[in-house]
Amino acid sequence: MDNNSDKRRVVVTGLGIVCALGDNVEECFNAAVNGVSGIEEVKSVNTDGCYAKLGAEAKISTEKLSDKDCDRSSLLCIKAAEEALADAKYEITPENSSRIGVIVGNCVGGAASIDKYFTDELKNGGGKPSDVLKMPASAIANNVALHFGLNGTTANIVNACAAGTISIAYACDLIRAGKADAFCAGGSDSFSSLAFAGFHALHALDENPCSPFNKSHGITLGEGAGILVVESYEHAKARGAHIYCEILGSGVSSDAHHITAPRPDGQGQMLAINRAIENSGLKPSDIDYINAHGTGTAKNDEAEFLSLHTIFDGSDGLSVSSTKSMTGHCLGAAGSIEAVLTVKAVCENVLPPTIGYTEDDLAVLKEKAGNIDFISNTKREKTVNFAASNSFAFGGNNASVVFAKNPHEIPDRTNNERIFVTGLGDYTAKGRIDIQSDDYKNLGIKMAFWRKLDRFSQLMLVSGMRALSDANITISEENERDIGIIIGTSDGPMTEIVNFQKNVVANGTASGSAFSFPNTVYNAAGGYFSIFAGIKGYNVTNANGVQAGLQSICYAADVLKNGDEDIMVAAGVDENTDVTEYLYGKLGLLGGKMELGEGAVSLILEKESSAEKRGAQKYAELVGYASAHKAVEFGKLKGSENALKEAVLKACESAGISADDIDLVCGASDGLEEVDSAEKEVLGELLKNCTYVTIKDEIGEARAAGAAKQAMQLAITLRESDMYKYGLAVSFGTGGQYSAVILKKAV
């Protein structure tokens, strides 16, 4: 490979796992290749009255994990990251700390802490406010970053069971774009009554240990964390790091079919797998091993069987297994744990099996397997040059990523096309939106669909559909795969989560609601939106504080520049309900100048070629964007002000302008002293002679929706007024994450 190709190489230099199979990579991989199961009777959740009682819990207690006051999900993630960073011999210094960030996947957030809080509240005389800060998934990446002093950008990818894989894919894309040297990338999830009661209510748990692609008719839940240190090859080489393997391309797609079930025709899964293979510069026949999603539910396994047969029946040497038969389904950690096991398999040429097959089962499998080697019961020793790991999730999100033993040149699809804002969708209000049936019926949404959505998903759906309509985009078979979605949120569907959890605490695990459980995953809103709109491209939700509504624009722009899609919907959404007010009240944030608001704001970002071809309207051009992080305690901002400055300066740099060129700012100040003073200090120092506007007096602190609306406000003002050329929007996330976006008057 020449020097230029080396610049796009991303390698794995450190690994860490904790799960039911062990407390480190060696224990877990040994157990996996030897077919040792981690599945036992569940201990951390009361399974009285449940038809299934098995799970794969990590043996290590929360107390043993750490004395830090964090949710178990964060602690598991820190444990895996500790192993991975030590394995990578990555020395963090003040000079390099801003070049290594944390991108982690998660499904249930701080579910264990939500359970604890409401158990205390309902049964023990009162919940602790400190537990409220442990509830959102937003806290996890920051907790890891703070623990190790990593000050690169963070993201919490909350795409349920595909989150761990998407995190790795995103981290690699950011490294290739030069935005970081390395990431702790992966995922975590703790065992929770939320997930157990939810899958139990859906009758999706197997009463026996799951044995995917076999006779099992449900999943076995697991828990844990997997972290990979992913690093640019040149950085790894310069510091003399040990390189495990290469990470090639990835693929992310959306089923646009059903909120919990995969498409039976496997179309969405195949799009993700095929994209990953193509983005790796490979053919299907090059792939030696796939760590399948393989959950054990009939619907997943049948669809995945079909996908694998359709893509790989022409190849001769593909082996497939599902390590979930031993680790259980670790949800947001699944993709990352499986990635670590896949990397080990690539390095050691030993493949873990799917366990649980009897002689009779093996006979049935032989009939179904065709040309594919479904590894059953015992390990397979073979040379693995290329391996992929698949993850498919609720909401119809699919992801696949390819690992390679040796360097391999991947196609460069990056482009430097200009990006325009071509549509806006606003659905926001101070306090609460008085939702009227016309709000959705006018968009062609029927009550039968609408009623399934929790408030969070409803807000997103209206805003997203309004934006598509404003941009005059009709989704068809022609463009359905060329459009993607990035949603940012601070608090996610916390109302649905809390109500589900309170019912489980009061009435037992067996009483979970099958109706509301699908809405408790943070990516349900993106799922419903893709289903209704028919969008089949990239689909990711990031929970990362208020600024997530601006970070979604940064992420979406990266997807466009990476050549993955032509059009992206970038959105911010947060709800305000009795539950929101209760939780913010417990944190002591209400009663002062800050007032809560809610809603969703979507911006259509479009490549110039696509906008020109359609004759699209142009509100403004997106010319600069950046995120930055300085890890401080979650719940605080003080001490992180420099990261705001860094975000603004980097955004200016990417726009090719100086801070002096900015003549319009839409700020994030919301009446909270910490927020307002940080913004005043930094913007006052950097920006001279510019007009400051705010949207928060109009919609209150609508969190991620407000952040996205700041960008929307710039787009509208730049189009309507001739007074301004460059507009800047900045926002903050508790724990010290910031994003900045610069729009330019469209010419």
Partner 1 sequence: MANEEICAKIKAMLVENLRIPEDELEYDSELFGDDIGLDSIDSIEIIAGIDNLFGVQMTGAARENFQSINTLAKFVEEHQQ
Q: Which amino acids are annotated catalytic?
A: 161, 293, 329
Helix axes 193-201 and 494-507, enclosed angle (nearest 10): 80
What SS3 class is residue 199? Answer: helix
Tell me how far, at minimum, the Cβ of 515 lies from partner 1, in Å. 4
Judged by CB under 8 A, the number of residues near partner 1 is 16
Tell me how far, at minimum, the Cβ of 202 lies from partner 1, in Å. 7
Q: Please identify, using beta-carbon distances, which residue of 415 and 437 lies nearer to partner 1.
A: 437
Q: Please identify, using beta-carbon distances, which residue of 62 and 511 lies nearer to partner 1.
A: 511
Task: Select from 310, 414, 511, 694 the one that contacts partner 1 (CB under 8 A).
Answer: 511
Tell me how far, at minimum, the Cβ of 51 lies from partner 1, in Å. 11
Q: Please identify, using beta-carbon distances, which residue of 452 and 614 lies nearer to partner 1.
A: 452
Residue 437 in contact with partner 1, rule: CB under 8 A: yes
User: What is the greatest pairwise CA distance in the chain?
Assistant: 78
Task: Select from 262, 425, 518, 733 the one that contacts partner 1 (CB under 8 A).
Answer: 518
Residue 347 in contact with partner 1, rule: CB under 8 A: no
Residue 515 in contact with partner 1, rule: CB under 8 A: yes
Task: Select from 448, 476, 477, 591 the one that contacts partner 1 (CB under 8 A).
Answer: 448
Relative to beta strand 54-55, strand 664-666 is: unpaired
Q: Please identify, using beta-carbon distances, which residue of 514 and 693 lies nearer to partner 1.
A: 514
Distance CA 706, CA 708 (A): 5
Tokens read off for 293: 């999603």
86 contacts 150 by C-beta, under 8 angstroms: no
Tell me how far, at minimum, the Cβ of 682 lies from partner 1, in Å. 44
Distance CA 707, CA 546 (A): 7
Relative to beta strand 245-254, strand 397-404 is: antiparallel
Tell me how far, at minimum, the Cβ of 208 lies from partner 1, in Å. 20
Q: Which residues of 545-556 are buried (b: 16+ CB within 10 A; e: fewer)?
A: bbbbbbbbbbbb
Distance CA 338, CA 226 (A): 8
Q: Please identify, using beta-carbon distances, which residue of 123 and 451 lies nearer to partner 1.
A: 451
Residue 202 in contact with partner 1, rule: CB under 8 A: yes
What string of DSSP letters covers 359-389? HHHHHHHHHHHTTSEE-BSS-EE---SEEEE
Residue 452 in contact with partner 1, rule: CB under 8 A: yes
Task: Select from 400, 513, 610, 734 the one that contacts partner 1 (CB under 8 A).
Answer: 513
Q: Which of 439, 449, 421 is nearest to 727 (CA)?
A: 421
Distance CA 735, CA 424 (A): 29
Write the single-letter amino acid at 359: E
Residue 203 in contact with partner 1, rule: CB under 8 A: yes
Residue 126 bridge partners (DSSP): none
Cβ-Cβ contacts under 8 Å for 308 (sequence gap 6 or more): 290, 292, 318, 320, 372
Tell me how far, at minimum, the Cβ of 519 lies from partner 1, in Å. 10
Residue 447 in contact with partner 1, rule: CB under 8 A: yes
Q: Please identify, using beta-carbon distances, which residue of 86 and 515 lies nearer to partner 1.
A: 515
3-state SS track over 92-159:
CCCCCHHHEEEEEECCCCCHHHHHHHHHHHHHCCCCCHHHHCCCCCCHHHHHHHHHHCCCCCEEEECC
Tell me how far, at minimum, the Cβ of 510 lies from partner 1, in Å. 9
Tell me how far, at minimum, the Cβ of 395 lies from partner 1, in Å. 14
Q: Please identify, using beta-carbon distances, which residue of 362 and 514 lies nearer to partner 1.
A: 514
Distance CA 189, CA 187 (A): 7
**Residues in region 172-201 near partner 1 by CB under 8 A:** 201
Q: Please identify, using beta-carbon distances, which residue of 92 and 514 lies nearer to partner 1.
A: 514
Residue 449 in contact with partner 1, rule: CB under 8 A: yes
Tokens read off for 568: 């992206």
Tokens read off for 509: 């695990």
Q: Please identify, using beta-carbon distances, which residue of 365 and 514 lies nearer to partner 1.
A: 514
Tell me the Ramachandran region of residue 427: left when phi exceeds 0, alpha when psi lies from -120 to 50, beta otherwise.
Answer: beta
Residue 123 in contact with partner 1, rule: CB under 8 A: no
Tell me how far, at minimum, the Cβ of 162 lies from partner 1, in Å. 20
Residue 446 in contact with partner 1, rule: CB under 8 A: yes
Contact region with partner 1 (CB under 8 A), list: 161-169, 485-493, 509-517, 606-614: 509-517
Tokens read off for 69: 């006051």
**Residues in region 468-497 near partner 1 by CB under 8 A:** none
Distance CA 205, CA 211 (A): 12
Tell me how far, at minimum, the Cβ of 507 lies from partner 1, in Å. 9
Taken as a whole, the chain contains a residue count of 747
The dihedral of CA 71, 72, 76, 77: what is its sign? negative
Q: Please identify, using beta-carbon distances, which residue of 259 and 651 lies nearer to partner 1.
A: 259
Cβ-Cβ contacts under 8 Å for 47 (sequence gap 6 or more): 41, 53, 196, 509
Tell me how far, at minimum, the Cβ of 446 lies from partner 1, in Å. 7
Tokens read off for 525: 């809103």
Residue 451 in contact with partner 1, rule: CB under 8 A: yes
Q: Please identify, using beta-carbon distances, which residue of 130 and 437 lies nearer to partner 1.
A: 437
How far does Cα 473 stand from its chain's mean position? 26
The interface mask with partner 1, positions 258-297, x = CB under 8 A, is --x-------------------------------------
Q: Scanning the structure block, which residue is given the tokens 């020449």?
A: 2
Interacting residue ranges for partner 1, rule: CB under 8 A: 201-203, 260, 437, 446-449, 451-452, 511, 513-515, 518
